[in-house]
Chain A
């Protein structure tokens, strides 16, 4: 019945790694962070059940030897929920990549617009002159072909290899 140190260490490690990944701008890492945090929380739930014991089935084990079944029931529910939401998030990330060829957290354009109305308007460094990575989503839709997209990307980020390097032009799917 000695308390184990393994679970708290793993839980703490997962939380730390999850939060670190969550702070990234890349959405895939955010997703991985969410997964780690979810697993950490599930382990936390598991550890609340106290020391492990035998399967909680009447007639199979004495009540004193049984492990607590309630946290396990809660974890099962939580796992299913995390699974479903992660799948949805993954689909959203894929959709974001398909739409704008980037999977980073976007900026709020209307916020920028409101901020621009202030007296900093005359500033040479207008908030609208964003780093291309921070530029609004959606404009890739106005481009006609894959080649145009690639050309624009090459012009904006010289030296950064495109995600589609090696793929023949037009393999990116319909737009």
Chain B
């Protein structure tokens, strides 16, 4: 049965994508139903695969029945099955969210006829990467998901998306080229690209060659996973995409890189030659990433930086190279995929409710929409690692594994990890206290006016800040020193900015900027579409559910980590217990 089921997570989305493309924009309802059905099927298949893999251990399927080292091999072990289940879950949640957004907005934000097929191809690529039994298929899986992600990131082709998309595409292309060159060198050195065979043959190479190959693979994967020195592209490109796209990118794409790092460090190069380098990289990723998050003022960018930062936890667990560390890392990957996706979906809802994701322009959301406040608060606390949520359990596992390792460097990382957790709390609670908690009238006028000037385009410089730190009026008179614009355009722009501020703070423009909280007329904006709120709420329930099932889940993670450390289950599943040629 497993030989029938294993290719399905790749095949179903691909066929679904073709069908969705054929149906096209003419029958959007059919297209939506089709994509949701396909992803539900993928989720079902993945759950069955996980149950089988957890019961029977790793299994390999040679596609087309070719002899093993010659044909394409798909391998399902506990790790890949677990990743498939989580990926399918968040993909389904995001798709439902996107459907809700699409039917609420029309095709402006996410042109539906393109969105659905591309999204399905993305999921097929993710599944192909998780199931790949050889390096080259891993590369092909990466390329599938990357090409789909290029399209999704630049949906609509607006100027900011194009600008962000170009950075993202060029960086991704570079990492793919490094990966491909690494594959070429691996093939030159060993004469194979099948991972199970490489696991045996790479160990026979001279140490210098091994080190070169390992570092090339790690560099390629570290770019995709956004590990610190190679992470600058992520906060630059993710926040501009439509909310569901950012959500699925944040959840899945970096984790595929982390998955590849896990395979490299456990299956291909178990010697631990670069563990110390990875530990330092993990520390830098955690600390620098979270400092970036604290500095940001836009919710999506804050979340992007926390995403980078928390990749550090996973790399930490991998670099420990102990079963406990790997188990912690795997659990953390699962937790983080769900939580980060959920938070980006919530950011999408905040943008709808408040008209902006800039923290400085938001206020009073908790009063305007208590449900939204709950939907933000629970996953935010989970991300920061507040007990009893799954974030706490994952971090605790990693920190314990670090202490148990005994060296001084892991202890430094434990301290860094604890600090990162606290700083995450600072970052997310700052969003909470500003966007959700404070009365809208307290939004600092000077900053918003400056932001308005920045938004207004480069024809004018931003207004000078009032010396006392808050400008007093919502609109600072800008542009006097340049005075390049005709008065009517200036007035029009000012009116536009007033409208924008009113939307952002969910109030009508107040007469008195200091206590506009009262009778100035709080009016709710367009109500949040039920499907979007429902899917986000479902994702929040999933993240809380991770806490409930943390025991069994951690058990699976520990068994998966045991398999990874042992390596024989993977290798013998491919070669059926025979001698590896």
Contact = CB atoms under 8 A, between A and B. Distances in A.
Nearest to A139: B457
Given A45-B184, A129-B461, A99 B173 contact: no
Contact of B180 (A45, A88, A109): A45
B457 A92 contact: no
A113 B166 contact: no
A161 to B, nearest CB: 21
B461 A128 contact: yes
Interface stretch (B55-63, B146-154, B310-318): B146-154
A128 B454 contact: yes
Interface in A62-78: 70-71, 74, 77-78
A119 interface: no
Interface of B is mostly: helix
Contact of A77 (B140, B176, B454): B140
Interface in B413-466: 447, 450-451, 454, 457-459, 461-462, 465
A106 B158 contact: no
Contacts of B181: 41, 44
A22 B295 contact: no
B355 interface: no
Nearest to A112: B454
A137 B163 contact: yes
A84 B454 CA distance: 37
A92 B154 contact: yes
B143 A81 contact: yes
Nearest to A33: B170
A48 B162 contact: no
B185 interface: yes
B187 interface: yes
B388 interface: no
Contact of A138 (B136, B160, B174): B160
Contacts of A44: 181, 184-185
Contacts of A96: 159, 162-163, 166
B188 interface: yes
B580 interface: no
Task: Please classify the interface of chain A as helix (H, G, I), strand (E, B), loop, or mixed, using the class held by over half of its residues.
Answer: helix
A111 B305 CA distance: 12
Interface residues of B, number: 47
A149 interface: no
Given A22-B170, A41-B177, A114 B159 contact: no
Nearest to B237: A108
Interface residues of A, number: 51
B169 A88 contact: yes
B517 to A, nearest CB: 26
A40 to B, nearest CB: 8
B461 A114 contact: no
B184 A48 contact: yes
Interface stretch (B83-91, B100-108, B296-304, B322-330): B296-304
A23 to B, nearest CB: 11
B154 A38 contact: no
B236 interface: yes
- Which 4 A-B pairs have CB atoms at the shortest separation, nearest pair first? A138-B159, A106-B163, A48-B188, A139-B457
21 contacts: A22-B174, A30-B166, A37-B174, A48-B184, A74-B183, A77-B136, A77-B140, A78-B180, A81-B140, A88-B147, A92-B169, A93-B166, A95-B154, A99-B162, A110-B296, A113-B297, A128-B458, A137-B160, A138-B160, A139-B458, A142-B457
Interface of B: 136, 140, 143, 147, 150-151, 154, 157-160, 162-163, 165-167, 169-170, 173-174, 176-177, 180-181, 183-185, 187-188, 193, 236, 239, 295-298, 301, 447, 450-451, 454, 457-459, 461-462, 465
Given A71-B184, A92-B150, 7 more contacts: A34-B170, A89-B169, A89-B170, A110-B298, A113-B297, A129-B461, A136-B457
